[in-house]
Amino acid sequence: MEAPRCTCHLVLNDKNVPTGDIAFVKGTPFDFCQGKKISQDMPSSGYDNYFVASDQDTLNGPVLPLLTITAPAGEHGPAVTMEVISNQPGFQMYTANGFSGDGAGSFEKHGSIAIEPSGYIDATNHVNFPTATLNPHETRKQVITYHFTTLST
């Protein structure tokens, strides 16, 4: 995964709720600025974190690429790249941490990923986060595009 604009992440407490602090990703498992495998530095608990696009502090910002993920070719098909483009100031990434991987279930623990562009999670409780409040007669347009490309081998 590569997310060069996401140089920060929201700091979470032990209940996985944002504390209001924003930390730089450089040198941490959250650093995808240069691109790396998601599993490379993944905490044993997986990811359930909000990544901040540091150059965008509004919910109505310009529509820009947020991240790119490439899944390698496998027995079921060619490599696929997904580019996520949005006007949101960041995204939540979840790596299927709650799946056990045993039994007749279809998903293994950390066997899938969810990418959710949005405003800062828990923004209503932190004045330093971009506001999520929409007042009467105001409008807001959220743009999220998932662009998939297959790569020839």
Where do the structural domains in the chain lie, given as residue ranges?
Answer: 8-67+89-128
C-alpha separations of 127 from 4, 35, 55, 63 in Å: 26, 31, 18, 24
3-state secondary structure of 142: coil
Q: Per-residue pLDDT tens for 90-124?
A: 999 999 887 766 656 566 777 788 999 999 999 99
Q: Per-residue pLDDT tens for 50-99?
A: 999 988 776 677 888 899 999 888 877 888 999 999 999 999 999 988 77
Residues 6+ apart with CB under 8 A from 116: 91, 92, 93, 94
How does DSSP classify residue 125? G
Residues 6+ apart with CB under 8 A from 7: 24, 25, 26, 33, 52, 54
How does DSSP classify residue 77? B
pTM exceeding 0.95: no
